[in-house]
A and B are shown apart, each in its own frame.
Chain A
Amino acid sequence: MSSNQGTTLQPLQGAAGTTVSPDHNDYFVLGGHIYCLSTKGETFVSDRWDIRLDTWVPFDLSNGAPHDEAGRVSAAVDQSSTQSGPFAYHQGAKDTHPIIYTSALASREAPLAFMDADGRFRRQPTHNGRPGPLGQLLHSAGRLIAAERDVPRLWASPEPLNGEWISFGNPDWESHGAMRISHVLAHQGQIQVVLDNPDTGFEIWQSDDEGTNWVPVVLNGAYRYRRNAFVTAVTVHQGYRFLAASSVNADPFASGRTVGFELLVLGPSNRWDVLIGDCRCTPDGLRAPLLARGPGLDHTDDHRVVGLGCTADTLYLLTTHRRVWRLTENEVERLSIDNDLAPASLLERKGSVWLVLGSDGSMSLQPLS
């Protein structure tokens, strides 16, 4: 563990006692605790970060999913977490308690899994083979909303355990190059989806809670086009959505002229601004980076943000080159962590996370992809 101006950074190997798979874990901050949900074989496992013990401790899911003081368990992942993920909590009309859902990527016939009363992992078949493999889940307005992993398509179901899903609007995103839905968000009672589009740049679309009226919020990678083809990380704080976008998704060593990532912010009214990145002309006016730092925080070799975390006044980001940055209103600071990790260790540590503890006790997590 190393210290830098009151902030402690610690790499974690994954939740204690679990077999963490990159496709089956999620981290979120709730009620002053950090939770890690994961699957171990056929079982759901939850661990909670204990600040006093400085380690993960198992969290018993048999008493129900973690929830906030108001009992709003359904809000945990999509509003209070550091990122939305393949886990979601949902309570159907016939359910006596909220149920944890996740995706079962290996199964096309049963893309959804849930935690049964005995804590076991159960796959839920769907009718007509739809939807396909799932990449995103979100609870909203009494339904579970699911985004397919391989195509830009959304589904909704009030009672997922019945296996019945209906298409959730779905404009023809695919025909103009959108590849997949990378994130699903709830914003002011509406649903927003972030779409990867390697041809023209990422897009954000918004609909009412019925999915019947989709309108674009951000197009053409915020007018950085292909250089913002993918949104690699999102975090939400008090109505502000922070997005990291780049030309690179999974492969940090992609060929071609390298450009650094951008960090964008969408305000409550959906106006977008560049926090760090390129200055550019747009149909919406000139956009210059608010923090006067260029792409990749002036490092064009820093292709991608792999994690974002937010506290009340600070944004943390972790980049491909093992750099952690702390952004406040007037300051951009690189935190010194290079000595904590061997150069080759980043890509070997899938599933582990950076835990950032602020001097005020605030916490944030940056998963290592």
Chain B
Amino acid sequence: MSQSFVILSPPRSFSSVACGMLGQHPQLYGVPELSLFVADTVDLWFNHHTRRLKRPQGTHGLLRTLAQLHEGEQTESSIQRAWQWLAQRRDWSTARLWSYLEGRVAPRILVDKSPMTVLNADFIERLYRYLPDAQFLHLTRHPVPTAKSLAEILSGSEDSGRRVGRDVNPFELWCRAHGNILDFCSVLPTGQSLRLRGERLLEEPDLYLPQICQWLGIRDDASAIAATKHPELSPYACIGPPNARLGNDNKFLTAPELRPARFKDPSVAQSSEILALEPELRARVLSLAAELDYVE
């Protein structure tokens, strides 16, 4: 059994609900988006989110996690104390901070999903340097609905806590993220990564959740699986206090329950959104969609 479990996916690919579900397993502990691996130290991590991206919402996940683990609640005052605790450890490496969190949740396994990590190959490389023995779940979603959802973030119409660049085409983002993940997973030893279509997980959780548990080497009995079907019971599955409201996908935070789902994949080749792309990007999307098994 590995000590770390990381879900790799672009934004808007069901990773919030997947992390919320798996994080409720009695042997796992799901946290909001920590986005730790964007920097080597806590100080640089802070600067990255607040000064470089100018999105302090990127720190909410870690603050909520620290508040919850330290005080068992997420309130304005506990978040404030988490800030102070963090400020006193600005020289810590982010690897040390990860280990600290692992120790706090032990013997449960920390589950992280931070879409920001997969948008930059350097971030993924840092993730692997710090967590070489982690197990990585590559979660995918059809490019067309992903791009539509990403467009909401990119247009700034939604309070997402994420910043990915307003001038970026959402399909470009989808390609970049999955390309980085595929390149990364291709060099891992067999069994260290597992790819799953998010649509399948949400359509048939009773079929696929036990398989993920078997792959992780944790319990897959009925009570363990039943627990994973209640992501809404996570202490992080809600809007946080005013000074750390987010830390996860806004849509998940406002409606975290697992609902019966049935997806009808739109045609990749016939999609008007994909047909409208520049030829080079269109070819990349089509090729990658096929590689990720989104074929008609």
Residues of A within 8 A of B (CB): 199-200, 225-227, 256-257, 259, 277-283, 285-286, 288-289, 292-295, 298, 300
- From residue B199, how far is it (CB to closest CB) to chain A in Å? 12
In the complex, are the beta carbons of B182 and A279 less than 8 A apart? no
- From residue B193, how far is it (CB to closest CB) to chain A in Å? 8
B291 partner, pick from A200, A226, A286, A289, beta carbons under 8 A: A226
Name which of B193, B196, B287, B295 has the most chain A CB atoms within 10 A of its CB: B295
In the complex, are the beta carbons of B190 and A278 less than 8 A apart? yes
What are 13 A-B residue pairs whose CB atoms fall within 8 Å in the complex? A199-B296, A226-B291, A257-B291, A259-B186, A280-B194, A281-B196, A282-B211, A286-B210, A286-B211, A286-B214, A289-B190, A294-B190, A300-B186
In the complex, are the beta carbons of A293 and B190 less than 8 A apart? yes
B191 partner, pick from A199, A225, A285, A292, beta carbons under 8 A: A292
In the complex, are the beta carbons of A280 and B293 less than 8 A apart? no
Chain B residues with CB under 8 A of A279: 190-191, 193-194, 215
Size bracket, chain B contacts:
20 to 34
Name which of B190, B195, B287, B296 has the most chain A CB atoms within 10 A of its CB: B190
| Chain A CB within 8 A of B105 CB | no
- From residue B249, how far is it (CB to closest CB) to chain A in Å? 23
Within 8 A of A (CB), among B176-218: 182, 186, 189-191, 193-196, 200, 207-208, 210-212, 214-215
Provided the pairs A279-B215, A283-B207, A300-B186 are in contact, do residues A226 and B194 lie with their beta carbons within 8 angstroms? no
Chain B residues with CB under 8 A of A286: 210-211, 214-215
In the complex, are the beta carbons of A226 and B293 less than 8 A apart? yes
Query: How many angstroms from the CA of A192 to the CA of B196 in the assembled complex?
Result: 30
| Chain A CB within 8 A of B290 CB | yes
Chain A residues with CB under 8 A of B287: 256
Query: How many angstroms from the CA of A257 to the CA of B215 in the assembled complex?
Result: 25
Chain B residues with CB under 8 A of A282: 211
Q: Nearest residue in B to A295 (C-beta to C-beta)?
A: B190
In the complex, are the beta carbons of B295 and A200 less than 8 A apart? yes
Q: Nearest residue in A to B294 (C-beta to C-beta)?
A: A225
Query: How many angstroms from the CA of A288 to the CA of B135 in the assembled complex?
Result: 14
Query: How many angstroms from the CA of A295 to the CA of B195 in the assembled complex?
Result: 14
Query: How many angstroms from the CA of A286 to the CA of B290 in the assembled complex?
Result: 22
Chain B residues with CB under 8 A of A225: 293, 295
Q: Nearest residue in B to A226 (C-beta to C-beta)?
A: B290
A281 partner, pick from B190, B191, B212, B296, beta carbons under 8 A: B212
B182 partner, pick from A257, A281, A289, A292, beta carbons under 8 A: A257
Q: Nearest residue in A to B288 (C-beta to C-beta)?
A: A257
- From residue B159, how far is it (CB to closest CB) to chain A in Å? 34
Provided the pairs A278-B190, A279-B191, A294-B189 are in contact, do residues A288 and B215 lie with their beta carbons within 8 angstroms? yes
Chain A residues with CB under 8 A of B194: 279-281
Query: How many angstroms from the CA of A199 to the CA of B291 in the assembled complex?
Result: 10
Chain A residues with CB under 8 A of B193: 279
Q: Nearest residue in B to A286 (C-beta to C-beta)?
A: B211
Q: Nearest residue in A to B214 (C-beta to C-beta)?
A: A286
- From residue B204, how far is it (CB to closest CB) to chain A in Å? 8
Query: How many angstroms from the CA of A286 to the CA of B200 in the assembled complex?
Result: 14
Chain A residues with CB under 8 A of B214: 286
Query: How many angstroms from the CA of A257 to the CA of B196 in the assembled complex?
Result: 19
Chain A residues with CB under 8 A of B291: 226-227, 256-257
Name which of A200, A286, A289 has the most chain B CB atoms within 10 A of its CB: A286
Query: How many angstroms from the CA of A293 to the CA of B191 in the assembled complex?
Result: 9
Query: How many angstroms from the CA of A294 to the CA of B189 in the assembled complex?
Result: 7
Chain A residues with CB under 8 A of B296: 199
